[in-house]
Amino acid sequence: MILPLDLILLLFVVITGIAALQIKDLLGATIILGSFSFFMCLIYTEMGAVDVAFTEACVGAGVGTVLFIAAVHKTKRRSKD
Amino acid sequence: MKVFALLTVIITGVMLVYGAEDFPKWGDPNQPGSVHVAPRYTQGTYIEAGTPNIVTSVVADYRGYDTMGETTVIFTAGMACILMLRKKKRGEGESNV
Amino acid sequence: MFEYIVSKYNYWVYIFLMMLGLYGMIGKKNLVKKLIGMNIFQVAIILFYISIGSKVGASIPILTAEDLHGSANPLHYMNPLPHVLMLTAIVVGIATTGVALGIIIMVYNRYKTLAEDEILEIRKKSGV
């Protein structure tokens, strides 16, 4: 537990979360969601949950991003909101 | 619609902030979640399960049935994806696609 | 008051992420955006559980060599139980995301659009 590092990481998480919801390009939103997952992984490591952190890094950020990109590739990339 | 969504979200947030009053402080060692069964896992992991990693021994030994149910869930999800996304043969399944 | 806010800062962040995910699920029209909101909501819950499991001054939940034979002090190791539950929750969450993306692809194949209001328009026009 290092308080300044924790606060900086939580700030990054909030910023990437807002950006993932607001970007109109769905591919960009997906990539930003992947970076959101990686920042969450850093927070888990920092809180002492190493097993959760590497599960999140390979399953949440890796496989999740791949699934999202495959779905966006099969459908439309533009979004109106 | 946007106003309705914002209203719902703000009401939910106020209720959550009200509920956060009863939560333990961050990192409190004597909070209710950490005193009941977790010390037994911490002390007995190497004697009973033979691995120093507590999380691994709880996942695979103490709560193995939970992990087996999780495997069933993932298998069901995979089967559902295969059934939804396979290429249809001619004359089969005109109802969707 | 200030001390109260600082002592529970992780709860405020998780509440904010939960509100963000809920707004994404309700307020956005695009189906993929709704799914992104659901992911954020789920991550907020996982963050809540992980922060319940942490203790001040404790280490990661792997026993050191001198603590192996039952002499471990629980105050020196994080609470492993929320970690285990969230390990399950992450994997099941990815499975539900996969099924939801499959359903989204089927919806796109049928209606050629992903916006919720356009889908409702098409359904109303065709009289379903």
Q: Evaluate whether A35 touches A60 at the Cβ level (below 8 Å).
A: no
The dihedral built from the CA positions of residue C73, A6, B16 and C28, taken in this order, carries a sign that is negative
Q: What does the pLDDT average to over B28-36?
A: 83
- In which region does residue B93 sit, left (phi positive, over 0), alpha (psi from -120 to 50) or beta (all else)? left
What is the rounded distance in angstroms from the CA atom of residue B9 to the CA atom of residue C107? 27
pLDDT, tens only, C18-66: 999 999 999 999 999 999 999 999 999 999 998 888 888 888 888 888 8
Mean pLDDT of chain A: 90
Q: Are the beta carbons of A52 and C58 separated by less than 8 Å?
A: no
What is the rounded distance in angstroms from the CA atom of residue C101 to the CA atom of residue B85? 10
Q: What domain range includes position B55? A: 34-85
CB-side neighbour CA atoms (13 Å) of C43:
36
Listed by start position, the domains of chain A span 3-74
In a domain, B78, yes or no: yes
* pLDDT score of A80 more than 90: no
* pLDDT score of C82 more than 50: yes
* pLDDT score of B93 more than 60: no
Beta bridge partners of C109: none
* pLDDT score of B97 more than 50: no
- Which of these, A58, A10, A52, lies nearest to A34 by C-alpha position? A58
pLDDT, tens only, A5-32: 888 999 999 999 999 999 999 999 999 9
> Which chain A residues are Cβ-neighbours of B55 within 8 angstroms?
51
* Chains contacting B (3+ CB pairs below 8 angstroms): A, C
For chain A, the 3-state helix, strand and coil shares in percent, each to the nearest 5, are: 80, 0, 15
Mean pLDDT of chain C: 89
Q: What is the pLDDT of residue C108?
A: 92
In a domain, B47, yes or no: yes
Q: Measured between CA atoms, how close is B69 to chain C, in angstroms?
A: 10
User: Going from the N-terminus, what domains does chain C have, and what CATH number goes with each?
Assistant: 7-55+75-125 (1.10.287.3510)
Q: Evaluate whether C56 touches A48 at the Cβ level (below 8 Å).
A: no
In a domain, B50, yes or no: yes
Q: Which of A8-12, B28-32, B64-68, C102-106 has the lowest mean pLDDT?
A: B28-32
Q: Evaluate whether C42 touches C15 at the Cβ level (below 8 Å).
A: no
* pLDDT score of B28 more than 90: no
If one counts the domains in chain B, the total is 1
In a domain, B23, yes or no: no
Q: Are the beta carbons of A75 and C108 separated by less than 8 Å?
A: yes
pLDDT, tens only, C95-111: 999 999 999 999 999 99
